[in-house]
Amino acid sequence: YSEIAQRERMEEQLLLSQFAMDKATDIVFWISRNARIRYANDIASEALQYTRDELLDGNFGDIVPVYSLAEWDALWDELKNGVQVFRETFLVKKDGTRFPAEVRLTYLEYHGKQFVYCSSRDLSERIRMDQALVEANKKLSISTSIARHDIQNKITVLLAYLGRTKKAVT
């Protein structure tokens, strides 16, 4: 009975892990040695406008062109040697449109199975916020410059009046 109970706990844990991976907020892929996608989570399908079946066994370089088949072998060896790769690039949707994304690649091996774990995050919102911040800083700089100029003009007038008052008193 204890073995059955342990198997049930392991099965429950496995199902929970699968659910968490499928529902993660980051795009997740598992990529094989030949640059084929072996797993894609729900957000990958949603963000890239593919069905999960269309993504599975697809070429990773079609989604992330910066990692083409020509570069994959060298990248695989680099990752296998323990290097983590992080890059800001873009992902290509099914309709050919692109969106900016950060891509993190890590080599993993489990029970003799080798794959690259890829997590990716859409950067569109962050880039939009960065641009809005730059615009706000420009406007703030202009506003500060105008206020400084106005204050400087008032101080100049006050100093002039003060100078006249000094002459009048003497």
Q: What is the pLDDT of residues 77-119, one digit of tens each?
A: 999 998 899 999 999 999 999 999 999 999 999 999 999 999 9
Residue 168 has pLDDT above 80, yes or no: no
Cα dihedral sign, 40-46-52-57? negative
Look at residue 64 in the predicted model and tell me its pLDDT: 93
Residue whose C-alpha is closest to residue 116's, from 25, 57, 33: 33
Angle at 93 between CA 113 and CA 61, to 5 degrees: 40
Cα torsion at 32, 51, 44, 86 (round to 10°)?
40
Residue 85 CB neighbours (<10 A): 15
Q: Residue 147: which pLDDT band, with cuts at 50, 70 and 90?
A: confident
State the average pLDDT over residues 26-41.
94
**Residue 96 three-state SS:** coil
Q: How far is it, in rounded angstroms, from Cα 65 to Cα 69?
A: 9
Q: Residue 159: which pLDDT band, with cuts at 50, 70 and 90?
A: confident
State the average pLDDT over residues 157-167.
85
Q: Residue 57: which pLDDT band, with cuts at 50, 70 and 90?
A: confident
Report the predicted TM-score, pTM, of the whole model to 2 decimal places: 0.72
DSSP state, 33?
T
Q: How far is it, in rounded angstroms, from Cα 40 to Cα 31?
A: 9
Q: What is the percent of the chain with per-residue pLDDT over 70, rounded to a whole number?
A: 99
Query: CA-CA distances (angstroms) from residue 53 to 35, 101, 156?
Result: 16, 22, 74
**Cβ proximity of 93 and 1 under 8 Å:** no
State the average pLDDT over residues 52-71.
90
Q: What is the percent of the chain with per-residue pLDDT over 90, rounded to a whole number?
A: 52
Backbone angles phi, psi at 67, to 5 degrees: -105, 70
Q: Residue 170: which pLDDT band, with cuts at 50, 70 and 90?
A: low
Q: Residue 71: which pLDDT band, with cuts at 50, 70 and 90?
A: confident
Q: How far is it, in rounded angstroms, from Cα 100 to Cα 16?
A: 31
State the alpha helices, DSSP H only, in the chain: 2-23, 42-48, 52-55, 60-63, 69-80, 124-169
